[in-house]
Amino acid sequence: MIRAGIIGWGENGKKIAEALHFKIKNTEVIGVATDDPIGRDFAMRKMGLKHVFSNHTQLLELHQIDIICICSEGDIHFAHVDDALKSGSNIFIDHPLACNVEDCTKIVKLLDSYPSYKTTVAFPRRFISELNQMQKLISEGRLGEILRIECQTFEKMQIQDALPNRKMVRKGIFMDLMLQDIDMVKWLTGQDYQTVYVVGNALKYPSLQRQGDVDSAIAIAKLKKGCMVNFISSRLVHQGEGFKVKVVGTLGEVNYSSFKENAGLVSNQDGKPYYMSKGKGQNEYIPLIQNYVDAVKNGSKIKYDLKDATEATRIAVAMTKSFLLGREVSLIE
């Protein structure tokens, strides 16, 4: 039995807890540490846990945990990773790895000093089977040269975050909603980012704008080989939470949606269809966590490079800079 502890909460923490405790065989969550009363209540009432704390040091003192899942705010990940490694646990980090490149570099260096522990950063879209098919089509050249990519992500604003007196934004929309799209595009294409330009507004939740954040944003990026990428992220949800991605090449196009919507035709110039997936409405963390748990159990390789997590943060930071300055930002070093 693989035993896990969770530091932090939030919607992703909830998905991770449910996957480990109810969906993945031979794993269980034995403790949760969070200052979020909603998370503590869920852990006690829905999961039946006895070890529920407001301080993570109490959780780490249990000395019976195989995996520590870091689901806290990204700006305090380094401290939580450091403490968890010292307790002798494998480390599962929800995205982002950190909210700035300097902290990402520090975390990677720290993790490298504990080579016997299995570590990953949660970017669950890399483990969706349909997106793996899409990545294969692109890498095999079956779509030709990639002309453009369209990404849309919608996630409901939490009530406490929408209040005028909400606590200071830590991640912001680019480090939160748009980060998975950023990582997904680089993984799908294998191309580096060259430039980004961002606009956004906070018409629904004006308190966000006073803290340098927005409720809706559009980013335009250019990749190394000339591919154009359009990102749309919003905390205003009218048709459900989820994401869509469309990849258009010189020979055809392919798309995926996590929404429960009708399938559509996707074909290349010879008329043979690729695929179009209907959304399944399932916990997208399950395949990712299954891969990680297998690696902890069997010593198998984890399908994620921490350098990619650092790069995703670098792009998100550049997007934030573009929004604040109102101009295009170059990513060429």
| Chain CA centroid to CA 278, Å | 21
- pLDDT computed for residue 158 by the predictor: 63
Query: pTM of the predicted model, to two decimals?
Result: 0.90
CB 153 within 8 A of CB 124: no
- Any idea what DSSP says for residue 95? S
For domain 2-117, give the CATH number.
3.40.50.720
**Is beta strand 228-234 parallel, antiparallel or unpaired with respect to 216-223?**
antiparallel
State the Cα–Cα distance between residues 302 and 123, nearest whole angstrom: 12
Per-residue pLDDT of the chain (333 residues; tens, 9 = 90+): 999 999 999 889 999 999 999 999 999 999 999 999 999 999 999 999 999 999 999 999 997 899 999 999 999 999 999 999 999 999 999 999 999 999 999 999 999 999 999 999 999 999 998 899 999 999 999 999 999 999 999 988 765 555 555 554 456 899 989 999 999 999 999 999 999 999 999 888 887 877 778 999 999 999 999 999 999 999 888 777 889 999 999 998 898 988 765 444 444 545 554 444 444 556 889 999 999 999 999 988 887 889 999 999 999 999 999 999 999 999 997
Torsion of CA 175, 218, 207, 314, to 10 degrees: 20
Q: Where exactly does CATH 3.30.360.10 map onto the chain?
A: 125-285+312-330
Tokens of 282: 């399932």
- pLDDT computed for residue 101 by the predictor: 96
State the Cα–Cα distance between residues 82 and 88, nearest whole angstrom: 10
259-262 contacts: CB < 8 A, separation 24 or more? none
| Pick among 3.30.1330.60, 3.30.360.10, 3.30.1050.10, 1.10.10.10: CATH of 125-285+312-330 | 3.30.360.10
